[in-house]
Amino acid sequence: MHKESGHTALDEMRSQWRLMTVYERFEQVIALVLSAVIAVIIVVSLFQLISIVFTLLVLDAFNPLDHKVFQSVFGMIMTLLIAMEFKHSIVRVALRRDSIIQVKTVILIALARKFVILDPEVSPAKIAALAGATLALGATYWLLRKRDDRAAETSEHAPSSSQ
């Protein structure tokens, strides 16, 4: 069933290609190339992460209770998750399911990553700066969500052109 939905998306993309302007085609090509580049980066990073963790396990240096090791490994994992979510957003644009990159999830994951890998001996000034950035990103997320909610509400109440 998954192949059928992929086939349908590819067929839909091909049929829409003929209707696109030159700039829309340019955007599609760029989105597909970026998606491929990010996929390569994700695969290479995953192999490096596996290699690092395996090396630490073999050398018996991997102690998940050691804060530095925990921070390092989870920082790498969160970076991979951010890249995967970013690639997913680009693919949605390439398949014409979204008109712009959905940054909300990327913002949330990046913010969570920053707090997961935060050094316990961080200065109060840096904590204050992170708190300010968190408030700004939270406000941005809230505004984007309000916009999306309004757009969804408008599209639900709009009269259908097919009737």
Cα–Cα distance between 141 and 139 in angstroms, integer? 5
Closest of 33, 1, 28 to residue 14, by C-alpha: 28
Given 3-state DSSP classes, what are the helix, strand and coil percentages for the chain, each rounded to the nearest 5?
Answer: 80, 0, 20
Is residue 100 pLDDT above 80, yes or no? no
Model pLDDT, residue 124: 87
Q: Give the model's confidence band at 162: pLDDT under 50 very low, under 70 low, under 90 confident, else very high.
A: very low
Closest of 117, 40, 41, 107 to residue 78, by C-alpha: 117
Q: Is the dihedral of CA 46, 62, 123, 104 positive or negative?
A: positive
Model pLDDT, residue 160: 54
Is residue 60 pLDDT above 70, yes or no? no
